[in-house]
Amino acid sequence: MLWRGKTIRTEPSTALIPLTRGHLNDLTNGLGQQMFFWGRDVLTSGNLLLKHGFEKHRSEGLQGTSCYCKPWEDGIIELHGACAGWYPCESGKCGFLFIRNAKRCYIHHRTAPVIPGEYDFKQYDSSNLAELTRSSRIFTAWLAEYEAWIAKQMGRAYREECHAMFCKLPTSKPWLPPESARRWIATFATGSTSLPRSRAFIESKT
């Protein structure tokens, strides 16, 4: 595919201390909320994901849905309403995968994105905290950049509106308010060893 030949590098995190299971649970909850935000972005201003540089293609799994991909740090980010992840171009490296219905983050060794809705859980691992820390920081580094871009393009009130809509859904589980969420994700991505749990982040003002 066309995007496989592209590459974008970012500064890797130098922190090697694994995050706690609690921090990764916080990230999982945050990504559940974030998926709703991406869904709103697709419907806003002619599709904000496309404006940010993503390529759209038809999902091979769930009919009538689309995937969005973009090069990122010698690999690609791929987003879908059922899953999101980072896939390295080089085999043998650990990638990152979030599956919404499973409510869990995993590492994997795939170079091609998973087919949404068709998961071979034997290929994924959620127990290796060291590699989950490393791969999740690659993904969240992109997410932090994206949310900063959204705030610049649309103003902070836009995400507040998205969050208010999410909170009104009967089955939603709201996470942090948008500005706190953006700061927590950005801090997560830097590898800070002093990152508080998300429930304490608003009070800590870290």
pLDDT of 32-68, one tens digit each? 999 999 999 999 999 999 999 999 999 998 888 999 9
Q: What is the DSSP secondary structure assignment for residue 108, as one 8-state letter?
A: E
Question: What is the tens place of the pLDDT at every residue in 115-168?
Answer: 999 999 999 999 999 999 999 999 999 999 999 999 999 999 999 999 999 999
Residue located via tokens 């879908």 = 80
Q: Does the pTM exceed 0.85?
A: yes
Residue located via tokens 């999740």 = 136
Question: What is the tens place of the pLDDT at every residue in 64-89?
Answer: 899 999 999 999 999 999 999 999 99
Question: What is the tens place of the pLDDT at every residue in 169-200?
Answer: 999 999 999 999 999 999 999 988 788 999 88
Per the model's pLDDT, the better-predicted residue between 18 and 6 turns out to be 18
Instruction: State the alpha helices, DSSP H only, in 128-190.
Output: 129-154, 156-168, 178-190
- Torsion sign over Cα 136, 139, 142, 146: negative
Residue 7: per-residue pLDDT: 41
Q: SS3 for 53? A: coil
Per the model's pLDDT, the better-predicted residue between 113 and 12 turns out to be 113
How many residues in total does the chain contain? 206
Within 10 angstroms of residue 148's Cβ, the number of other Cβ atoms is 13
Residue 193: per-residue pLDDT: 79
H-helix or E-strand spanning residue 69: strand 66-71
